[in-house]
């Protein structure tokens, strides 16, 4: 019988982002990702028989809010990285 390890006993798992450094262009990468996801929202709306206009509205709302939130988080992370280096 094996003894329990602290990792097995803890119900909470901590996941770290891969790599220590942020990407070279985090803002551009985020913009491209959210544009692709917004396009999927529009395609999903059309394929399922929904309204193209409604799909465009929801995609635009998603794009603006998701990009703004991600850029704010990148700004915080990059500022923390700069403070850590100093």
User: What pLDDT is recorded for position 11?
Assistant: 67
Cβ neighbourhood burial of 16 (10 Å; 0-12, 13-18, 19+): exposed
Domain assignment present for residue 67? The answer is yes
pLDDT digits (tens, 9 = 90+) for 6-47: 556 656 777 766 666 777 898 999 999 999 999 999 999 999
Cα gap 59→19, rounded to integer Å: 31
The total of structural domains in the chain comes to: 1
User: What pLDDT is recorded for position 31?
Assistant: 95
Domain assignment present for residue 6? The answer is no
pLDDT at 60 over 90: yes
Domain assignment present for residue 13? The answer is no
Average per-residue pLDDT for the chain: 86
pTM of the model: 0.70
- Residue 47 lies in domain: 25-85
Cα gap 81→86, rounded to integer Å: 9
């Amino acid at each position: 019988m094996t003894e329990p390890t602290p990792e097995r006993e803890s119900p909470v798992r901590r996941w770290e982002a891969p790599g220590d450094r942020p990407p070279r262009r985090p803002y551009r990468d985020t913009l491209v990702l959210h544009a692709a996801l917004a396009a999927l929202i529009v395609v999903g709306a059309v394929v399922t028989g929904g309204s193209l206009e409604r799909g465009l509205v929801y995609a635009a709302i998603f794009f603006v809010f998701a990009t703004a939130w991600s850029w704010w988080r990148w700004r915080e992370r990059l500022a923390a990285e700069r403070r850590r280096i100093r």
